[in-house]
Amino acid sequence: MDTADLDTPRNCERYLNWAHAFLVVYSVDSRQSFQGSSGYLELLAWHAKETQRSCPALLLGNKLDMAQYRQVTQAEGAALAGRFGCLFFEVSACLDFEHVQHVFHEAVREARRELEKSPLARPLFISEERALPPQAPLTPRHGLTSCAFNTLSTASLKEMPAVAQAKLVTVKASRAQSKRKAPTLTLLKGFKIF
Ligand X SMILES: Nc1nc2c(ncn2[C@@H]2O[C@H](COP(=O)(O)OP(=O)(O)OP(=O)(O)O)[C@@H](O)[C@H]2O)c(=O)[nH]1
Interface ranges with ligand X (CB under 6 A): 2, 4, 62-63, 65-66, 92-94
The rounded distance, in Å, linking the Cα atoms of 75 and 72 is 8
> Considering beta carbons, is residue 2 or 98 the nearer one to ligand X?
2
CB 179 → ligand X: shortest distance, Å? 56
The rounded distance, in Å, linking the Cα atoms of 116 and 93 is 30
CB 18 → ligand X: shortest distance, Å? 18
Give the residue nearest to ligand X (CB): 93
CB 83 → ligand X: shortest distance, Å? 22
The rounded distance, in Å, linking the Cα atoms of 159 and 126 is 9
CB 121 → ligand X: shortest distance, Å? 28
> Considering beta carbons, is residue 23 or 86 the nearer one to ligand X?
23
> Considering beta carbons, is residue 16 or 100 the nearer one to ligand X?
100
CB-based burial label for 30 (10 Å; 0-12, 13-18, 19+): buried
What letter does residue 173 receive in the DSSP assignment? S
CB 66 → ligand X: shortest distance, Å? 5
> Considering beta carbons, is residue 50 or 98 the nearer one to ligand X?
98
The rounded distance, in Å, linking the Cα atoms of 100 and 179 is 51
The rounded distance, in Å, linking the Cα atoms of 15 and 28 is 25
> Considering beta carbons, is residue 62 or 145 the nearer one to ligand X?
62
Q: How many CB atoms lie within 10 A of CB 60?
A: 24
CB 109 → ligand X: shortest distance, Å? 23
- In 81-154, beta strands by DSSP E: 87-90, 124-129
Left, alpha or beta for 86 (phi > 0: left; psi -120 to 50: alpha)?
beta
> Considering beta carbons, is residue 27 or 145 the nearer one to ligand X?
27
